[in-house]
């Protein structure tokens, strides 16, 4: 039994190294792998699973967030334990991703991570962060091409919340005031890298509708 466990441990390590090497030397492969991780989590999410995952703890230390690496993607491909709690979509730029708890490497290799503990969909300022890879690439990269007036959607598989984007700007990393709740406003804030990681793209939308999740309203996420 011990020999078998050792064998599988070594075998898993070798697979991980091979995947990491492939990703290091081929950016398109890395983006493809990330898209596959996201798609897998999108298609398997249920309301029950989202509710259960919402109880899990996340990592919310902004200082620990690093640029997405080949090793990070490889680990997420082989063993992904990100707590997926919903879905997001910006159809105008063909962005459809899982929403995950926190800002851990695994979470941010999967989709958009919640930026504040205990934030609730459809309440106050719901803030999500995601990695930028390449223009028209995976994760939050398409947000660079979003425009004011575009619609953004999030769901916990029970309700679907629709927001209209009214703000898009490149801001410094210190612009954390954009995450603050604003009395009387229900917002969605989306943050990703800009200028090679020196600055941030910040987009905000205001809530325009809140509907039950059903086949019709969930179609925007597929």
Residue 112's Cβ-count burial label (10 Å; 0-12, 13-18, 19+) is buried
Determine which helix (DSSP H) or strand (DSSP E) holds 203, and give its type and residue range.
strand 199-212
Cα–Cα distance measured from residue 101 to residue 85, given in angstroms and rounded to the nearest whole number? 7
Phi, psi for residue 85 in degrees, rounded to 5: -120, 0
For the chain, the distance separating the N- and C-terminal CA atoms, rounded to the nearest angstrom, is: 44
**Residue 56 DSSP class:** S
**Residue 190 DSSP class:** E
Pick the catalytic residue: 193, 194, 202, 203? 193
Cα–Cα distance measured from residue 128 to residue 79, given in angstroms and rounded to the nearest whole number? 23
Cα–Cα distance measured from residue 83 to residue 173, given in angstroms and rounded to the nearest whole number? 26
Does 131 participate in catalysis according to the annotation? yes
Pick the catalytic residue: 30, 75, 96, 131? 131
Active site residues: 131, 193
């Amino acid at each position: 039994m011990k020999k078998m466990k050792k064998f599988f441990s070594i075998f898993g390590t070798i697979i991980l190294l091979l995947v990491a090497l492939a990703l290091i030397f081929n950016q398109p492969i890395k983006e493809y792998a990330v898209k596959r991780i996201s798609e897998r989590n999108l298609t398997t999410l249920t309301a029950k699973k989202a509710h259960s995952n919402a109880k899990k703890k996340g990592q919310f230390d902004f200082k620990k967030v690093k640029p997405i690496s080949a090793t990070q993607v490889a680990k997420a491909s082989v063993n992904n334990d990100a707590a997926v709690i919903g879905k997001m979509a910006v159809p105008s730029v063909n962005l459809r991703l899982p929403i995950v708890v926190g800002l851990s490497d695994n979470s941010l290799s999967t989709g958009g991570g919640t930026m504040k503990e205990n934030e609730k969909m459809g309440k106050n300022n719901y803030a999500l962060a995601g990695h930028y890879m390449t223009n028209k690439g995976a994760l939050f990269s398409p947000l660079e091409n979003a425009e004011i007036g575009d619609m953004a959607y999030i769901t916990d598989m029970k309700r679907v919340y629709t927001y209209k984007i009214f703000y898009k700007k490149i801001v410094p990393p210190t612009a954390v005031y954009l995450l603050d709740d604003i009395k009387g406003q229900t917002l969605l804030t989306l943050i990703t890298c800009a200028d090679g990681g020196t600055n941030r793209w910040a987009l905000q939308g205001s809530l325009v509708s809140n509907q039950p999740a059903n086949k019709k309203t969930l179609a925007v996420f597929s």
